[in-house]
Amino acid sequence: MSQIDELFQKLRASEQKAFMPFITAGDPDLEFTGQLLRKLDAAGCHLAEVGIPYSDPIADGPVIQASYTRALNAGTKLDAILAMLKSTTSEIEMPVVTMISYAIIYRVGLDAFLDKAIDAGVAGAIVPDMPVDESAEFAAKCKQRDFSLIQLVTPTTPRDRALTIAENSSGFIYYVSIAGITGERTALPDDLVDNVSWLRGQTDLPICVGFGISQPEHAQILKPVADGMIVGSAIVRRVAAIENGTSKDDAAADVAAFSKEMLSAISG
């Protein structure tokens, strides 16, 4: 059983939902990323998603794109990210997954990437640019190592394809709330709850919703049908304040306070 399987087994047993913050590795530097992961863990977050900077991100809006650019301009590399994660995951309770382009995994090599990621304490990967039709080999290798391969379902995914994605996923399914790019929204789509509820009836895998989730009210809407909520841009925007003169300590404190607010909404 993988780390993520164990997490959701515990959460379901206690009728809790997961809160998953997304942060960009190396924004503004890897030391801060490690410190922020520790702070999010201490705040009670259940799982962290760490974005691996990529020059051509898939489906990311301007806030996360800008964070990737800052990290790349700072010279952030995959091996350095994994070294930071190795020293951090041993000190925190929440599992960590990476959001990573398949181009990076392919360049490193499927087995080599898994060796490096597992050695760093990474529990799984979200690979947004890997079509499910081409995921069989990597999915099999992940399954052999209890490494979760989290795949995405969107509002425009045909239902038969959504079922195929669910069958080839592990850990949880990432349900994209909107047809578009990441970013904070004031309102969620009217049909989101119905769509997630339908998928909930088709699979035993946990379903976690991301893209546009940025307010406690969103958590209240999704609690009845989702197993977890993923928040990215609202957190990355708070980290970006460092570029405009906010201290790292103050930015981290702001992220932690916001995360606690979301956790309260999810558990309340």
Compute the distance between CA of residue 119 and CA of residue 170 in angstroms, rounded to an integer. 19
State which H helix or E strand residue 208 sits in.
strand 207-210
Q: What is the pTM of this model?
A: 0.93
Reply yes or no: is the peptide bond before residue 28 cis, omega within 30 of 0: yes
Beta-carbon contacts of residue 132 (< 8 Å; ≥ 6 apart): 151, 161, 164, 165, 168
Q: Which two tokens stand for residue 5?
A: 């399987």
167 is catalytic: no
What CATH number should be reported for the domain holding residue 88?
Answer: 3.20.20.70
Compute the distance between CA of residue 71 and CA of residue 30 in angstroms, rounded to an integer. 9
- Of the residues 41, 60, 184, 227, which is catalytic? 60
> Letter for the amino acid at 129?
D
| Beta carbons of 74 and 29 less than 8 angstroms apart | yes
- Of the residues 5, 49, 184, 227, which is catalytic? 49
| Beta carbons of 102 and 130 less than 8 angstroms apart | yes
Q: For strands 148-150 and 173-176, give the pairing.
A: unpaired
Q: Into how many domains does the chain fold?
A: 1
Domain housing 226: 3-267
Q: Which two tokens stand for residue 101?
A: 């382009």
Compute the distance between CA of residue 64 and CA of residue 183 in angstroms, rounded to an integer. 8
Can you give the pLDDT at residue 55? Answer: 87
The pLDDT confidence band at residue 187, using thresholds 50, 70 and 90, is low
| Beta carbons of 26 and 64 less than 8 angstroms apart | no
134 is catalytic: no
Q: For strands 228-231 and 207-210, give the pairing.
A: parallel
Can you give the pLDDT at residue 59? Answer: 60
Closest CA to 249 of 258, 241, 260, 259: 241
pLDDT in tens, 202-214: 999 999 999 778 7
Mean pLDDT of 71-91: 97
pLDDT in tens, 235-268: 999 999 999 999 999 999 999 999 999 999 988 6
